[in-house]
Amino acid sequence: MTIPALAPTVRAPRLTYRAREEIAGWLLAGPWILGFLLFTAGPMIASIWLSFTSWDLLGAPKMVGLANYIRLFTDDPSVWRSLRVTTVYAFTSVPLAVGLGLLVAMLLNENIRLQGLFRTVYYLPSVVSGVAVALLWRWLFSPDFGLINAFLAVFGIRGPAWLSDSNWALPALIIMSVWGVGSGMVIYLAGLQGVPTALYEAAELDGANGVQRFWNITVPMISPVIFFQAIMGIIGALQTFTQAFIMTDGGPKEATLFYLLYLYRNGWVYLKMGYASALAWVLFIYIMILTLLILRSSAAWVYYEGSTRR
């Protein structure tokens, strides 16, 4: 991750001020640091320990060694199914969001009128989220009376049963995710507006066509932004929960059994706190590995202007 350069600090005239600054610095950052220790760092350590125990919230946790992990990898097909579902979702919805968001941003970046209005309209869906949106899309995907199948019927297509069809439930959730491309679009638009016009003019003089300009100027110039969006998007998508919980409850036939939903069930429905902790750590490590892989690959395709950014 890129750490923005820290501000040049002032040389204090008196030592006492320096000392006061040191103390005040720790004190003011103190609440956040304390909160981090209490609600993030502490629980993370506790979670490692819990993952080696068996515990149903009654009595004391029982040490079981690696049993949770062994079961998870060798004796629980739902783990693999949920990992697959979640990965497929993340690696289709995020590229779609990046591609479409970039497309809309490029269209808006043409000198068009009402740019602000368009931007608002496209951004609006990503302002709302959660249960209300999930309910809305359940209704849109309704097989017999939903708007989406009504639209398909206009073209004589008989739409699938979407959320109640195990082949179409996951694609339905991916389609729904596309509705939120607006948040990425706003960011790409800002990035595009920072690309120097001179680059395009020079390329045009050299006879580069639109496609060449896109791949050789636009993409490299805003690749850091795309990269950051892709990473944050994938991390977020791997933790999808609400849609699956409200719209499909993991079904049909575990076709939308998202990992976090499975974790929730183990923890708060079956009350297997140790096993759920092990599940949490497996997802955590999986996310870290994916992030590292993307980071590694970034050297090949992310272009940082100047060398200050990395």
- What is the footprint of another protein within residues 16-55 (CB under 8 A)? 17-18, 20-29, 31-36, 38-40, 42-44, 46-47, 50
The CA distance from 47 to 53, in Å, is: 10
CB of 241 to another protein, least distance (A): 5
CA distance 270 to 209: 60
- Alpha carbon distance 243, 82 (integer Å): 14
- Euclidean distance between CA atoms 84 and 78, whole angstroms: 10
Instruction: Kindly calculate the radius of gyration of the chain based on its CA atoms and give it in whole angstroms.
Output: 24
Residues 203-262 that bind another protein (CB under 8 A): 204-205, 225, 228-229, 231-232, 235, 238-239, 241-242, 245-246, 260
8 binds another protein (CB under 8 A): yes
In the complex with another protein, the residue whose CB is nearer, 18 or 84, is 18
Which residues inside 146-165 make contact with another protein, applying CB under 8 A? 147, 150, 153-154
Q: Determine the 3-state secondary structure of 216 from DSSP.
A: helix
- Which listed range, 63-71, 158-166, 187-195, 296-304, lies at the site for another protein (CB under 8 A)? 187-195
Residue of the chain from 170, 187, 244, 302 that contacts another protein (CB under 8 A): 187
Q: Of 197, 209, 307, 308, which lies in the binding site for another protein, with binding defined by CB under 8 A?
A: 197
Q: Which stretch binds another protein (CB under 8 A): 69-77, 84-92, 165-173, 263-271?
A: 263-271
> Given candidates 69, 91, 281, 304, which one binds another protein under the rule CB under 8 A?
281
How far is residue 286's CA from residue 238's CA, in Å, rounded to a whole number?
10
266 half-sphere exposure, CB direction, 13 A CA radius:
25
Q: Token pair for residue 66?
A: 């690696």
Half-sphere exposure of 174 (CA within 13 A, CB side): 19
Q: Which stretch binds another protein (CB under 8 A): 165-173, 183-191, 250-258, 298-306?
A: 183-191
Tokens representing 134 are 């999930």
Contact between 72 and 279 under an 8 Å Cβ cutoff? The reply is: yes
**Near another protein in 56-75, by CB under 8 A:** 57
Shortest distance (Å) from residue 21 CB to another protein: 5
As a dihedral over the C-alpha atoms of residue 156, residue 161, residue 87, residue 237, rounded to 10 degrees, the angle is 90
Stretch that binds another protein, among 64-72, 79-87, 163-171, 188-196 (CB under 8 A): 188-196
Q: How far is CA 152 from CA 33, 102, 159, 171, 252, in A?
A: 54, 27, 6, 16, 23
What does the DSSP 8-state code read for residue 218? I
Interface with another protein (CB under 8 A), residue total 116
Site string for another protein, 78-117 (x = CB under 8 A): --------------------------x--xxxxxx---xx
Contact call for residue 4 and another protein (CB under 8 A): yes
How does DSSP classify residue 75? S
Give the shortest CB-249-to-another protein separation in angstroms: 11
Closer of 172 and 238 to another protein (Cβ): 238
Judged by CB under 8 A, does residue 186 bind another protein? yes
Q: Of the candidates 63, 88, 121, 295, which one interacts with another protein according to CB under 8 A?
A: 121
- Minimum distance between the CB of residue 266 and another protein, rounded to whole angstroms? 10
Helix H or strand E segment including 147: helix 147-154
Residue 63, SS3 per DSSP: strand
Residue 215: HSE in the Cβ half-sphere, 13 Å Cα cutoff = 4
Q: Which stretch binds another protein (CB under 8 A): 73-81, 84-92, 165-173, 264-272?
A: 264-272
Torsion of CA 154, 156, 158, 163, to 10 degrees: -30
